[in-house]
Structure 1
């Protein structure tokens, strides 16, 4: 074949390809985003330095810039304000000075993803942590807000910055992402808070007024070790691979790093104070402040005033942080999006009992990119036209959209406790009576629970709730007959129990469960309450909008039980979305201990009695959509 003919054929193939394979069609929907990015920056350049705060304290800062950028090209910046080490220095044979290993709270793949899409990323060690100087006087402080504002001032002055900023992060870093909004910095245009803490007392430290002492101890051990650059706490492999906190560039002999670590010795001991707190308004002795002084929910006014659009992301098994995400959505009108998935903390894993794989299938990064592109780059991708709430329903195994939360098509379905440990539909005749439960203080929920997912040292593998038949033998159970059609539960269940105890205080744990025809028992959700905090508060005086029973957890509302006197106790479950299949049975399980996760009251009953009659109508109330 002659050269001319070959050339003509090549031209023909080129033209045919152009017409038969048009450019990628633009697609933008929940978790899917195609055709909006034509340039892949493929990699990044890295730099680190100290930034000087107004009081002279220096903060270690890593900056990652898209690598294949043109001269003069500028980028929006995603900022992470980190408490647990911005980046790590590996041992010599594993080290890459141009690509440090970022810490656990900012996964390396996240930096790769966003820099490839044309974003700069900055990770900052908060004062008194990592390689930063200074010491910590309290957590989530006004001092930190001023630091954040100074860091943002520095970023917008850089030649590579387009002066558009966003914050994000997971857990503590997700909380500082929202804390930054209270600075009301004019360049801050978006915030994605993942698994963050809205109410520090109720959603993290003391759910239901019961201290998460095992978690707090694990958090303490982790934080104290990291503040002193001690990675031995993570085991021999960590010590073998990791040299320690990554020093800033230029600090080759780690002189500055050693000086910074030395200053961390002055960090206040939050943990000893937390462990002494019982009521919401109890004073932490070191700071002479109560738990709310550390909590994001007390900054609602400033967060709203910032007018920064917020996207909140959490999962049904995300400790008590799932409640935080919903509270944040309901109480900050600048929260534009709420995403609730079948995930634990992070999200790290897909936990729905109806799927075999624990791998997160949904692309959280893609969804974040849609939000950032719209608010920082002005890309009209339609995310603003979509429903503000998306939630995953376990059982149907699908995401659903809603214009609001709680769902408008939800209604309360009540089951009454009845004789022979049964649950009957409201309107059905209740066989009146009472049942005695001999309290078992060996009851322990799985050590791979929602609560274990909150921090690395507390984990015992992937979050997982195995068949609960065995642990249920130690609990008081009330079970329905087989349901006649699928029942979709979405929202905030609660139970109101009329009970007596032979002591002045008690710890109550309630579980909502799915009993299959073969007898296997699946965990749906749970709630807990210290009896002394049972008094229901006036929702109109609550510090923020509340769904379900409202307890103040204040000292003035703390009240001892009168032994053997019948008392109503309302307990909220963590929110959920779950389809109970036709032929399955609903089960309410009651215990007075979960020794794997919660510190119990000092005074403990030997027996409790649950009553069910016209005068004492103990019940379970479910939000159902079908």
Structure 2
């Protein structure tokens, strides 16, 4: 038995919940983050039990179940069930010996007081569950979600109305639960996750984010996981953990499939298609589940949230905050989950479907005006502001970003790619979901100081003409907000491998007017060294106000600190040239609400 696996069984327990009972005369109010008069907080206690549930192929999954309780006993009533499907341990002890309950971090425990059962399930090959993981969110895992959903529906304490929720990987398992069309699944709440697996993990053809991290013995294999109650000495958990090592290593899985249509050397199937939620759009729609998609602008999954919203016809909403991965800031997400699940699992007519379907927060908005609602994304009232790259630029010397092109321009700028970029300040690159600032990185182009606030809302687009000394190159683009004191923050970013620059017809109903780079092997177009080639790429969506007196900066680089594969590129590193002459106009297009008032340099 691994030394980090606790031997002490976690017995059934009863704990007090935060309790609020609304007055009978409380006026009804239901809107994003506000919910009064519809759902009474009846219970102040909960009881927890845990057990194994055996799947149809014999693999046992570990399950924790939390039920409303009174006077130390679980209430003998039927309730809707909301559950999570996690590879990161449904309950575990941390380095300080403290118990960690992911349901608390996901804002789901307060549902108990309002008459819900909540539950956590270790995915197969993870936590205290048996088996080995095949790939990453494969059909086996999805079938487990189907079976667990129907198991919850049949329990004597269940009404048969089931919901699934989760963020990050758990957001993905939430989506995949819906792809199986379980008869009793009524609602899902996926957060900060992907819809198109290849478009997320290998955006622009570059596998450059957290999915490439090495396996973690603790969270990935199950050390420290709490055994189920019947496993009094922890031996079953230890046996389960011993099976986990046989699972597919995530980084190797993605590294083995450079193109969208590649067959995985590890699994012998075209795994991008199997693991992508977008492959099962018709199934999700046929399921009829209600969907609450939530994400953040400062997160890699922001585009995926807007893509999912725009390509499904289920009853659905999109919530976008201004924070990082799986963060909700000061927004009462527990209240929003209660509104959502009350509507779909309890059939409470609380107005959820009569509201504007998109609710989003704007970075740097004035106090009291941070949140907005809209019927569509991108916004109907955003207009395109075209800015031209110009002037002489080199690492440490900034070029110009202007609203008027220089009709006499013959300038091109070049830099040698730095394959060892360093983050400014101390940063943990193991799980970095947003790029860090790098000083004097690549080439930068900057506007004059803005004379008024500018609201950038939508998907910025970059149209670059580049050439390289090599037959391929990676291009990373960062849109930055530069304060008067020189402090810079990344507003949004994008990336594209030059050989993936070809644009193909999109398979989506609504790709929001953006260029689609399919990324199949037949689409590859190597560069001709020294010859300019056009690259059009969209940056992740945003809603951000750049303050008056600040400048907008566009930085183009050839590597990113989060790109773990950068050390297997060209040797020596390529020299990239950005062209912005009369024949090759490199440009930035900003979606702007209102005005954009940066004067042309020299005016």
TM-score between both structures, scaled by the size of structure 2: 0.86
Aligned partner of 1:424 in structure 2 is: 402
Q: Between 70-79 and 180-189, report the one with greater CA deviation.
A: 70-79
Counterpart residue number, 1:13: none
Deviation at 1:609, TM superposition (A): 2.0
Matched, 1:212 2:181: no
- Please give the alpha-carbon distance, in whole angstroms, between the structure 2 residues aligned to 1:250 and 1:126: 19
**Is 1:163–2:129 an aligned residue pair?**
no
Within 5 A, what are the aligned runs for 1:340-379?
A: 340-347=320-327, 360-379=329-348
Matched, 1:265 2:245: yes
Change (3 A) 1:417 1:269: closer
What aligned pairs does 1:244-255 form with structure 2 within 5 A after superposition? Answer: 244-255=224-235
- Once the two structures are superposed, the pairs formed by residues 255-334 of structure 1 within 5 Å of their partners are 255-290=235-270, 291-319=272-300, 321-334=301-314
Whether the aligned pair in 2 keeps the contact of 1:181 and 1:188 (CA below 8 Å) is yes
Cross-structure match for 2:364? 395
Change (3 A) 1:271 1:584: closer
Asked if the contact 1:434/1:609 (under 8 Å) is kept, the reply is: no
Deviation at 1:210, TM superposition (A): 1.4
1:249-280 deviation digits (Å, cap 9, x = unpaired): 12112232233223323323343232232222
Cα drift, residue 373 of structure 1: 1.1
CA pair 605-430 structure 1, distance change in 2 beyond 3 A? farther
1:518 and 1:273, CA in 2 relative to 1: closer, same or farther beyond 3 A?
A: closer
1:513 — aligned with what?
A: 480
**For this pair of structures, how many residues does the alignment match?**
557
RMSD: 2.6
**SS state at 1:178 partner:** helix
In the other structure, the counterpart of 1:37 is: 39
Whole-angstrom distance in 2 between the partners of 1:277 and 1:22: 59
Give 1 or 2 for the bigger CA radius of gyration. Answer: 1
1:192-227, CA deviations, whole angstroms, 9 ceiling, x for partnerless residues?
001122122221x222211226x3453x322x5445
Pairing partner for 2:451 from 484, 493, 509: 484
The match for 2:552 is 586
Match of 1:175 among 166, 172, 177: 172
Residues 258 and 482 of structure 1: CA distance in aligned 2, closer, same or farther (over 3 Å): closer
Deviation, structure 1 residue 302: 0.9
Using the TM superposition, give the Cα deviation of residue 371 of structure 1 relative to its aligned residue in structure 2, in angstroms.
Answer: 0.8
Bigger helix fraction: 1
CA contact (8 A) 1:495 1:570 kept: yes
Matches within 5 A, 1:224-239: 224-226=217-219, 228-230=221-223
Question: Residues 558-616 of structure 1, C-alpha deviation per residue, up to 9 Å, x if partnerless?
Answer: 12110111111112111111112233322111111213435336226542222223321
| Conserved 8 A contact 2:126-2:222 | no
Of 549, 574, 578 in structure 2, the residue corresponding to residue 610 of structure 1 is 578
Evaluate the alpha carbon distance shift between residue 587 and residue 90 of structure 1 in structure 2; reply closer, same or farther with a 3 A threshold.
Answer: closer
Report the Cα offset of residue 39 of structure 1.
2.9
CA distance in structure 2 between the partners assigned to 1:529 and 1:475 by the alignment: 15
Moved more, 276-285 or 109-118: 109-118
Could you tell me which residue of structure 2 aligns to residue 351 of structure 1?
A: none
Alignment TM-score, normalising by the size of structure 1: 0.83
Tell me, in whole angstroms, the C-alpha distance in 1 between the residues paired with 2:542 and 2:298.
Answer: 9
Is the 2:412–2:581 Cα contact (8 Å) retained in structure 1? no
Aligned to 2:128: 131
2:107 alignment counterpart: 110
Corresponding residue SS for 2:565:
coil
Name the CA shift for 1:22/1:200 in 2 (closer, same or farther; >3 Å). closer
* Map of 1:434 onto structure 2: 411
Q: Match of 2:174, SS?
A: helix
Is the Cα–Cα contact under 8 Å of residues 46 and 74 in structure 2 kept in the other structure? no
Question: What is aligned with 1:554?
Answer: 520
Cα distance in 1, alignment partners of residues 32 and 137 from structure 2: 32
- Residue number among 357, 369, 377 corresponding to 1:405 in the alignment: 377
Cα drift, residue 418 of structure 1: 2.3
Contact 2:468 2:530 in 1 (8 A): yes
Helix, strand or coil for the counterpart of 1:110? coil
* Structure 2 counterpart SS, 1:433: coil
Does the 8 Å CA contact 2:298/2:322 hold for their aligned counterparts?
A: yes
- Structure 2 distance, partners of 1:474, 1:135, is 42
* Deviation at residue 372 of structure 1 after TM alignment: 0.8
> Is the contact between residue 492 and residue 547 of structure 1 (CA under 8 Å) also seen in structure 2?
no
Q: Give the distance between the partners of 1:171 and 1:109, measured in 2 at CA.
A: 11
Work out the CA distance in 2 between the residues paired with 1:606 and 1:275. Answer: 22
Number of the residue aligned with 1:74 = 78
Q: C-alpha distance in 2, partners of 1:446/1:597?
A: 16
Q: How far does residue 435 in structure 1 lie from its aligned partner after superposition?
A: 2.6
Aligned runs of 1:593-604 on 2, under 5 Å?
593-600=559-566, 602-603=569-570
Summarize the Cα distance change of 1:139–1:447 in structure 2 as closer, same or farther, 3 Å threshold: farther
Q: Structure 1 residues 146, 520: CA separation in 2 closer, same or farther (over 3 Å shift)?
A: closer
Contact kept in structure 2, 1:419 and 1:431, CA below 8 Å: no
| Change over 3 Å in CA distance of 1:447–1:261 after alignment to 2 | farther
CA 1:429–1:35: 2 relative to 1, 3 Å = same
Structure 1 residue 109: deviation in Å?
7.3
Q: In the alignment, does 2:185 pair up with 1:221?
A: no
Q: Is the 8 A contact 1:418 1:433 kept in 2?
A: no
Tell me by how many angstroms 1:187 deviates.
1.4
Which stretch shifts more, 477-486 or 600-609?
A: 600-609
Instruction: Specify whether residues 248 and 582 from structure 1 end up closer, same or farther in structure 2 by C-alpha distance, changes over 3 A only.
Output: same
CA pair 334-396 structure 1, distance change in 2 beyond 3 A: same
CA contact (8 A) 1:502 1:608 kept: yes
SS, match of residue 314 in structure 1: strand
Q: Say whether 1:443 aligns with 2:412.
A: no
